[in-house]
Chains A and B, each alone.
Chain A
Amino acid sequence: MTAHLTAEMASSQTETALLTAEAVVRRYGSLVAVDRVDLRVADGERHALIGPNGAGKTTLLDLVGGATRVDGGRIRFAGRDITRLGPARRARIGIGRIHQRPAVWPSLTALENVVVAGWHQAGGFWGVRSRSRFRRRLREPSMALLERVGLAGTAWTTAAHLSHGERRQLEIAMALAGRPRLLLLDEPAAGLSGVEVHRLAELLAELPRDVSVLLVEHRLDLVYALADTVTVLHDGRLVASGEPAEIRNAPAVRRAYAEAVR
């Protein structure tokens, strides 16, 4: 009965899939970093990618975000083929990204970082053509986002002078400023202290359901707490995909990912 239900749910989800990657391939010389991987992220889903180092997780995020192009396969987002679109176009249609090393603009202040990141969401040059519109549509929402991630006190600090943890929080605010429909998170917990990881988990859990999440993370506690679906990669291939409970116990996963799954 439950199996039947999940199958039915899966088939209905196919229609509302936000992101589908079909047999995507990425090669670096003779190394096949991503080897014919299929991936589907439904609207509002929290989807985690796990796997040992070098499994191709970050490369897969790069392919979805547009930082690198596929050597084969297709990627669809919100009903359109984005395989050939550049990263800027993909960002504008709603794919946000958080990098493994927090990528902020070092010579801009924290507030300016969020403003630049939210630029297109506010309508670009036309949307902020007057000082009052700039304030209302970009500056105030940016300030509110900084407050939400706990950085209100450092709004005027140059990003170069922020700590690693603060930059991570800043990058989350920046990603949210772009109002993404899909948020790509590349090891957001890396390099964070225990308290910071706790705050990060809270932040991610509070994300509205109209934001879908594709998360790469080594901290499995975080993955299992957050994810609806877990996909396991190994040597660029998809090993397994399913609910966290299934994945935790799947023998194929244990073999591929023995050292990390406990």
Chain B
Amino acid sequence: MTPAPRRWLGRAVLAGGLAAAVAVPWSVDAYTTSLFARTLVLGLVGVSVALLTGLAGLPTLGQTGPYAAGAYTSALVAMHVSSVGVVQVLAGALAGALFALLTVPLVVYARGVVVLMITLAIGELTVTAASRWSSVTGGTDGLAGIPAIRPVWGMDPLASDRARYLYTLVVVGVVIAAMVMLLRTPAGLLLRASRDDEARTRASGHRVTGYLAVTFVGAGAVAGVAGSLLITAQQYVSPADFGFDVSALLLLGVVIGGAASIGGAIVGTALVVAVRDWLSGLLPGYAPLLLGGLFVLTAYLFPRGVAGFSTDLANLVRSRSRGRTGPGDRPGTGIQGRPSRGEPVAAAHVSSGERR
């Protein structure tokens, strides 16, 4: 099905990326390693944003909500219940999923820009709650003094940045692999169909709203896991970790990466974090300007994101493609709002998904 050159290109990129990711803690200093760990954590939240924005067609600014729920839950579990990583990750996932379950009725009936507004409100309310509910969250001071994590029962606590980075890498890898496998089942097919043309999918008897709700809760669980990893990577949590700037950066990263691609989401988020944390160190005070420049540049150079660009590249390699244009190739920033009900169906055909 998939043309061979593209498959091999993808495998080579994946293997190279994995090797580089494993080699990181041996090639840079401890501080940079911990920065990489936090980038991985944000990358995983970015993946959950991409799942909603690109695959489910629900552009979101509110994934900081389940992310925060997972982080605070994991911190409390680490401080009072168990230092075992498996327990913390599961608690984080559960908290994220529960948070999403509570907010899902607000989101799944809306489409497009309305989703952005609702999720923005959810994110902001979460931050406010986190800063006000000091008896649980420590208020704006945050929670510190979180004991070192032991990945599984019987292991020694992870004391070095290198060990914490590797732990983060393993969990992120497992979660993403599980997601990719899940999306390759027919479930992913139903999701792509729903995004392509929602009314048509309903007309074939599908409970699109139900699919979206399940996806939203799943994305919440993924963000919750990321929250748990934040506790491990940073050993500290405060409302500042979940502010609007974080939501905006995540969405920006996902759009830059190509909204419908998981790999693109990680690359995009990493790019955005790199610009914010490292490049701006060379030009202090210019971080927003640099981010803006990055966004304008990608919008012009890679209208379908980094992932879209790599698809184009693969299409060039595979010279025998049957007509290059089609709705899937239409330029756009990658955010595809679903049309609200009653709008013509044709508007729903704007998609920039990866095609098989």
Give me the interface of A with B, judged by CB distance under 8 Å: 65, 67, 86-89, 91-92, 97, 99, 101, 103-109, 112-113, 115-117, 119-120, 125, 128, 134, 138, 156-158, 160-161, 174, 178
Q: B328 near A105 (CB under 8 angstroms)? A: no
Q: Which residue of B lies closest to A171 (CB)?
A: B200
Residue from B190, B200, B203, B349 in contact with A119 in the complex, judged by beta carbons closer than 8 Å: B190
Residue tally, chain B, CB below 8 Å to A: 31
Give me the interface of B with A, judged by CB distance under 8 Å: 1, 186-187, 189-190, 192-193, 196-197, 199-208, 322-323, 326-328, 345-346, 349, 351, 353, 355-356
Q: Which residue of B lies closest to A88 (CB)?
A: B202
Residue from B193, B203, B349, B355 in contact with A97 in the complex, judged by beta carbons closer than 8 Å: B203
Residue from B196, B205, B207 in contact with A105 in the complex, judged by beta carbons closer than 8 Å: B196
Residue from A97, A116, A134 in contact with B201 in the complex, judged by beta carbons closer than 8 Å: A116
Instruction: Assess A103 versus B345: contact at CB under 8 Å? Given A88-B208, A91-B203, A160-B327.
Output: yes
* Between-chain CB contacts (< 8 Å), 15 pairs: A88-B202, A88-B204, A88-B207, A88-B208, A99-B200, A105-B201, A106-B351, A107-B351, A108-B189, A108-B196, A112-B193, A125-B186, A134-B186, A157-B322, A174-B204
Q: B192 near A105 (CB under 8 angstroms)? A: yes
Distance of A33 from chain B, by nearest CB (Å): 15
Q: A116 near B327 (CB under 8 angstroms)? A: no
Residue from A67, A106, A107, A156 in contact with B203 in the complex, judged by beta carbons closer than 8 Å: A67
Q: B199 near A119 (CB under 8 angstroms)? A: no
Q: A107 near B189 (CB under 8 angstroms)? A: no
**Chain B contacts for A91, CB-based, 8 A:** 202-205
Instruction: Assess A106 versus B199: contact at CB under 8 Å? Given A120-B205, A160-B328.
Output: no
Distance of A136 from chain B, by nearest CB (Å): 14
Q: B326 near A106 (CB under 8 angstroms)? A: yes
Instruction: Give the 8 A-B residue pairs with the shortest CB-CB distance, closest first.
Output: A160-B326, A91-B205, A105-B196, A92-B205, A120-B205, A106-B327, A103-B200, A116-B193
Distance of A162 from chain B, by nearest CB (Å): 9
**Chain A contacts for B349, CB-based, 8 A:** 106
Instruction: Assess A88 versus B200: contact at CB under 8 Å? Given A106-B326, A116-B190, A134-B186.
Output: no
**Chain A contacts for B205, CB-based, 8 A:** 88-89, 91-92, 119-120, 178
**Chain B contacts for A99, CB-based, 8 A:** 200
Q: A108 near B193 (CB under 8 angstroms)? A: yes
Q: B204 near A156 (CB under 8 angstroms)? A: no
Residue from A107, A112, A128, A174 in contact with B353 in the complex, judged by beta carbons closer than 8 Å: A107
Residue from B186, B192, B197, B208 in contact with A103 in the complex, judged by beta carbons closer than 8 Å: B197
- The answer for the CA separation of A157 and B328 in the assembled complex, in Å, is 13
**Chain B contacts for A178, CB-based, 8 A:** 204-205
Q: A107 near B202 (CB under 8 angstroms)? A: no
- The answer for the CA separation of A105 and B195 in the assembled complex, in Å, is 9
Q: Which residue of B lies closest to A160 (CB)?
A: B326
- The answer for the CA separation of A73 and B145 in the assembled complex, in Å, is 68
Distance of A186 from chain B, by nearest CB (Å): 12
- The answer for the CA separation of A179 and B254 in the assembled complex, in Å, is 40
**Chain B contacts for A87, CB-based, 8 A:** 199, 202-203
- The answer for the CA separation of A65 and B204 in the assembled complex, in Å, is 11
Residue from B204, B322, B353, B355 in contact with A116 in the complex, judged by beta carbons closer than 8 Å: B204
Q: B356 near A109 (CB under 8 angstroms)? A: yes
Distance of A182 from chain B, by nearest CB (Å): 13
